[in-house]
Structure 1
Amino acid sequence: MKNGDSTTIDVPHHEASGGGASKGKGAILTVPARQEKGGMRRGMAIIDVVLRIGAIMAALAAAAIMGTSDQNLPFFTQFFQFEASYDDMPSFQFFLIAMSLVAGYLVLSVPFSIVSIVRPHASGIRLLLLILDVVALTLATSAAGAATAIVYLAHNGNSSSNWLAICNQFGDFCKTVSGAVVASFVTVVTFLFLILLSALALRKH
């Protein structure tokens, strides 16, 4: 019993001992469980990268579409025209700036998301992305909501305020800005999935 080597040899080979069997099983099951969790987190990180790339395309599309939404309406002659442009409305200007900032943030966040694939157990990066995603979601949602209100007025007007619907005259302009708003809501929905995915990954830690 004083010999330490005899003790360590006897315990693993003592099949009748319940304590020895449980320790043996614990040693066998620990490594596969850790590998399984690491594989699950790595899979979540890959999905995160794919979602971010999709959100980048949606945000860039929203900003680009809004930035090219000008339409000129001839009146009597080609030298005297009515023009509808996004920069005539502060809400659309805010929309363009906000979606550009969101797209820029998403581009910068992709390398951090890739690091999560290489190091699936690093929770600090995932927590940072979660916080920044919430901020970006707030910005994208506010921009989409403000633009949606103006698009609604452009289509329907407001008789109480004597605001006339302009989409009967500027149909192309309204279709373009409506497409930009749809793209912005795609970005918002993608952010929701990103936040849920990050929260689930942190919970697994």
Structure 2
Amino acid sequence: MAKSGDSTTINIKEANIMDTKAKAAAKSSSSSVPIVATTKVTKHTKGARMKRGAAILDFILRSIAITAALAATTVMGTTDQTLPFFTQFFQFKASYDDLPAFTFFVVANAIASAYLVLSLPFSIVNIVRPVVVGARLLLLIFDTVMIGLTSSAAGAAAAIVYLAHNGNSTANWISICQQFDDFCKRTSGSVVASFIAAAILMLLVVISALGLRKH
């Protein structure tokens, strides 16, 4: 009877030890799951914050680009200078619409300005929902198109402005900026503003590409 009592006591102790180990293992396994989940949530939150910061920068740069493109369009579109001296049959006058390159410049920058204004709501969507891919991808495509449009218009206008300032002795083209000083200043300023808008559009493309990198 003593032996059977001893064995019963030993079995009870072994059972208690096994129960204690099982509970410890269950606690360790249950406590490890929330740690992994918390790590994943932290990484997701950090990535969303970075994307939201990039979207805010995108919105600010778009606002600056709108100002530059509108300034280029307005200044060039209102450039018109008439010299105070004239003959009986001819009046010395210079206007932007006398040159096709300047006309193309005004149209291109007007299109870019309108696009940048219409793109602001999509930029706001990226701020509110930074993980959305569709709006960012759409802006990336159209920003690239606007880069080609504004840079080509600015390049064509810059060539005319250069000839207006320096002329070309080989082609017997004389400089007109000594007479049409205000005309040359306004056209030069509008070309600079257009190049600024094109440069900002390039930055916007880079920001959108970085935002899509993990997708």
Structure 2 length-normalised TM: 0.84
Residue in structure 1 matching 2:101, options 77, 82, 91? 91
Secondary structure in 2 aligned to 1:99? helix
Q: Does 1:185 align with 2:195?
A: yes
For 1:198 and 1:11, the matched residues in 2 are separated by 47
Correspondent of 2:140 among 130, 139, 142: 130
Which blocks of at least 5 consecutive residues in structure 1 are unaligned?
Answer: 1-8
* CA deviation profile, 1:52-84 (whole Å, cap 9, x unmatched): 010000000000000111000122569952100
Q: Shift of the alpha carbon at 1:12?
A: 5.6
1:1-205 alignment to 2 at 5 Å? 13-14=27-28, 23-76=33-86, 80-205=90-215
In the aligned structure 2, how far is the partner of 1:36 from the partner of 1:11?
A: 32
Structure-2 change in CA distance of 1:76 and 1:117 (3 Å): closer
**Rg bigger for which structure?**
2
RMSD: 1.9
Cα shift at 1:27 = 1.4
Quick one: distance in 1 between partners of 2:214 and 2:67?
Answer: 29
Q: With the length of structure 1 as denominator, give the TM-score of the two structures.
A: 0.88
Q: How many residues align?
A: 193
Distance 1:101 1:10, change over 3 A: farther
Q: Give a deviation string over 1:11-38, Cα, whole Å, max 9, x none.
A: 6612xx7xx7764431121111111111
Give 1:6's aligned residue: none
Amino acid at match of 2:27: H
Q: Measure, in 1, the Cα distance between the counterparts of 2:141 and 2:39.
A: 35
Q: Secondary structure at the match of 2:82?
A: strand
Equivalent AA in structure 2 for residue 168 of structure 1: Q
SS of alignment partner, residue 162 of structure 1? coil
C-alpha contact (below 8 Å) 2:86/2:92 kept by paired residues? no
